Amino acid sequence: MLNSSIQMLLNEVVAGTRPFSLEISSEAGVLEGVLRPVTVAHLDDHEIIRRLTDWRNQSMEKFLSQFVATPERTRNWMRNVLLKTQGQMLFLVCVKDQVVGHYGFKNLTSSEVLLDNALRGERGGHPKLFVWAGQTLVQWLFREAVVQRVYAYVLADNAVSIMMNKQIGFGGWQRHPLTKCVREGEVVWEMGSEGGTSAEGRYCFKLLIERSLGII
């Protein structure tokens, strides 16, 4: 069950009634960027919707659900899923006035949360920007949401994401098989039980950071 005070905060941020952002700093304490939440105001921001759509299409193979995104579909997903689902938030990763990607979380409960939707769409900022962005989110979730664990999923053939998540501090690395399903012309890779075998030879890892061992 999700802490009501945290959900109230998320509701206010998404509605645009509570200003909120998270600074992204390097290990040396240098400000490298800012995480700015996607809010209802972005439903009318055609440039942001265009970017989210283009980035999704450019990185389609890195998602478990694969389809051709359109601005209309992106806006509908934002309106009906992202901005309405409890325990979920997406942040734009910003360097000065440039939006270079996004990072978020979902399935937030009182004990755990899924770090999700990390995507660098454009060049800009430090090469380790998304490592620090991930660490910033983990720190905030441990501190403010008081979760006991943060988990994530990464495709076993995505070397860049594997390296990034190792640097963030994730461990565990439980391997799960993936099964390809086609529904109405769209591909969905379904995850099986840990240790199973994939007929298609595709796998993903479940990663974990425990509060007792994590980044506080």
Instruction: Look up residue 44 and give its two tokens.
Output: 């009318």
Q: Where are the beta strands (DSSP E) in 41-148?
A: 65-66, 89-95, 98-106, 112-120
On whether residue 162 sits in a domain, the answer given is no
Contact in structure between 204 and 153 (CB atoms under 8 Å)? yes
On whether residue 191 sits in a domain, the answer given is no
On whether residue 208 sits in a domain, the answer given is no
- CATH value at residue 32: 3.40.630.30
Contact in structure between 101 and 56 (CB atoms under 8 Å)? no
In whole angstroms, what is the distance from residue 97 CA to residue 164 CA? 24
Parent domain of 14? 4-150
Structure-token match 């390809």, residue found = 180
Domain count, the chain: 1
Print pLDDT tens along the chain (216 aa): 777 889 999 999 999 999 999 999 999 999 999 999 999 999 999 999 999 999 999 999 999 999 999 999 999 999 999 999 999 999 999 999 899 999 999 999 999 999 999 999 999 999 999 999 999 999 999 999 999 999 999 999 999 999 999 999 999 999 999 999 998 889 999 999 999 999 999 999 999 999 876 554
On whether residue 24 sits in a domain, the answer given is yes
Residue count of the chain, please give it.
Answer: 216
**Is residue 161 helix, strand or coil?**
helix
In whole angstroms, what is the distance from residue 46 CA to residue 52 CA? 10
Instruction: Look up residue 94 and give its two tokens.
Output: 């910003």
On whether residue 161 sits in a domain, the answer given is no
Query: What is this structure's pTM?
Result: 0.94
